[in-house]
Amino acid sequence: MIDWKHEALSIRRQCQALDLPRSTAYYRPEPMPPDELRQRKRLDRIYTDHPYYGVVRMTDELRAQGESVGVARVRRLLRAMGLNAVYPKPRTSLPNGTAGRFPYLLRGVDIERPHQVWASDITYIPMAGSWAYLAAVMDWHSRAVLGWAVSEDMNTGFCLEALRMARRMCGRGPEIVNTDQGSQFTSEEWIDTVRAMAAKPSQDGRRRWVDNVMVERLWRTVKYESLYLVDLTCLREVRTRLAEYFRFYNRERRHSSLAKRTPFAVLFEIPPNNGPRGAGRDTHPAAPCGSKN
C-alpha cells in the first residue's frame, strides 16, 4: 500500500490518507529465535497427531524429544500458534457475540450427494522463519477441496476468499455450510456471504471438534503428505506447494471411503473406469484447484 519511492507524496501523507500509523508502516518484524521455531514445529506435529492433548501432556512430549521447556512456555507457544491445548479444537475457534446463534444441522443427517454440505476450517502452517494459516472449503460427500487461501494472520478475509473460490469453481453454492464457532465464521461478513449463496450456516457444538471431523482429517493428510516433507520459507512457497498438492488430492488421490475413486470423480459423478486401461487416473472436467492469493 505504501509507495516508498513516490515523488509527490511523502510517507507521512500516504499514512494519513490510509489512516495508518507511521510506526506500523515502518515496523519490520524481528526473526523468531531458532529454538522457538523448532518447538513450534514440534508442537504442531504433536497437535496434528493428538489434538486432545492438554498443556501438560504437550510439555511431556516436548521434553521426551529433548526440549527443555516448562508448562508456562508451552502454553504461551500454543496460544501464539492459535492452538487450544485444553479442548480438542484449535484456538482458531474463538467466538464472537454471534457464536451459538446457528445450530449444528448435520446431526442425524445422511450426507449422500455433492454440494449437500460444504465444511470449512483453519489450520496452522509452520514455515522456516515464521508461520501462516490455511483456510479451506471442502465438499463433505466427495472430500474434494473446492477452495483455499493462506494468510499470515487469522482474519475473516482469507476465509471468505476460500469460500468465494469454491463458489466460482462449482458455479453454485451448497445447501449447508458447516464451520466451528470461530470469530471468522460467526462474523456478519461470513454469514452474509453464506446466505447470499442460498445456503444455511451450521456451527459445531462448543468444544465439539468431531462435528467438523472431515476437515480435521484433511489437515492431517495435507501436512503429512505435503507440508511436513519440505522446509517452507515463505508464503509463495506455501501457496505453490498447496496448489500442487490439492491438484493431486482432487484429481489423483484415491480414497478407500469413496470406493477407491478420486474426490473429483465423485464430485462430478463420473463412473469409475474399469476397462482394460482402467488402472489409470479418473478423468474429469478441467476445474481450478489452486489459490491465486
Residue 203 lies in a domain: yes
Regarding whether 245 and 126 lie in a shared domain, the answer is yes
Regarding whether 66 and 165 lie in a shared domain, the answer is no
Regarding whether 206 and 134 lie in a shared domain, the answer is yes
Domain that holds residue 15: 1-30
What pLDDT is recorded for position 24?
A: 73
Q: Reduced to 3 states, what is the DSSP secondary structure of residue 172?
A: coil
Residue 159 lies in a domain: yes
Regarding whether 26 and 146 lie in a shared domain, the answer is no
Residue 282 lies in a domain: no
Regarding whether 42 and 152 lie in a shared domain, the answer is no
Grid cell listed for 195: 446466505
Query: What total number of domains does the chain contain?
Result: 3
* pTM, 2 dp: 0.72
* Tens of pLDDT, residue by residue, the chain (293 residues): 677 777 778 888 878 877 778 777 776 666 778 888 889 989 999 988 887 788 999 999 999 999 999 999 999 998 888 776 444 344 454 555 554 478 888 888 899 999 999 999 999 898 877 788 999 999 999 999 999 999 988 889 999 999 999 999 999 999 999 998 888 898 999 999 999 999 999 987 654 445 567 888 899 999 999 999 888 888 999 999 999 999 999 999 999 889 999 999 999 987 666 444 444 445 555 454 444 44
As a three-state string, the secondary structure of the chain is CCCCCCCCCCHHHHHHHCCCCHHHHHCCCCCCCHHHHHHHHHHHHHHHHCCCCCHHHHHHHHHHCCCCCCHHHHHHHHHHHCCCCCCCCCHHHCCCCCCCCCCCCCCCCCCCCCCCEEEEEEEEEECCCCEEEEEEEEECCCCCEEEEEEECCCCHHHHHHHHHHHHHHHCCCCCEEEECCCHHHHCHHHHHHHHHCCCEEEECCCCCHHHHHHHHHHHHHHHHHCHHHCCCCCHHHHHHHHHHHHHHHHHCCCEHHHCCECHHHHHCCCCCCCCCCCCCCCCCCCCCCCCCC
